[in-house]
Amino acid sequence: MICSPSILSADFKNLEKELKSIQNSQLIHLDIMDGNFVPNISFGPAISSQVASLTKQPLDIHLMIFDPLPWIERFIFPTTKYITVHGESKNALNALKLIKEKGIKAGICLKPKTKVHDMLNLINLADLVLVMTVEPGFSGQAFLLNPSLKIEELIRYRKANKLNFVIEVDGGINNETIKKVANADIVVMGSYLFSQKNRQKIINDIQKETK
């Protein structure tokens, strides 16, 4: 399992130090919020570019944006590995296609109430499927649901259709709730991780786990 720390919970006054504290993670998660698709605003391409300049770790960029299509190219940095858009957003299909055309792995995100079968046309194109266990827009929320059924459904669909997308889970992940998402490939961890002193140990313990 890969841990993708969400820097939304980091101390931005000490961003370089915060990034060093998680330098053993295999991904860095960036939550981009527009105040429209979700009721909060986080940061945009400028801060994301700064993060990219401070770490060599691959970036896992989650666009919580009403219309992500015009923004895709502004989040492509040398270390961008994934760009994920919401299946519920405008132009989601064209956004996925553009991401892939640019040589970046494309992700599709499903809100807690979004059904897998309603997004199959997008999932079929995706390199990553992000399962939200909270309503997107704020860090530090508790689980709204147990995502294990949705994860299992995605695993079955992936196998039956010989697809290769990875399954990522985001929202309320801590040392207890992570047990409920043991079959995921990637977990996003924010407020819990950044509240700990020994972050690298937590990341190592997660990344030692095998599926």
**Closest Cα partner for 2 from 194, 198, 173, 191?**
173
| Residue of 34, 170, 185, 205 marked active site | 170
156 Cα distance to chain centroid: 21
- Catalytic, 170? Answer yes
Neighbours of 1 (CB within 10 A): 19
Structure-block tokens of residue 7: 């820097």
Phi, psi of 63 (to 5 degrees): -90, 105
- Catalytic, 34? Answer no
Q: What is the Cα gyration radius of the chain?
A: 16
- Cα–Cα distance, 130 to 112 (Å, whole number): 10
| Residue of 31, 34, 60, 127 marked active site | 31
Active site residues: 31, 170
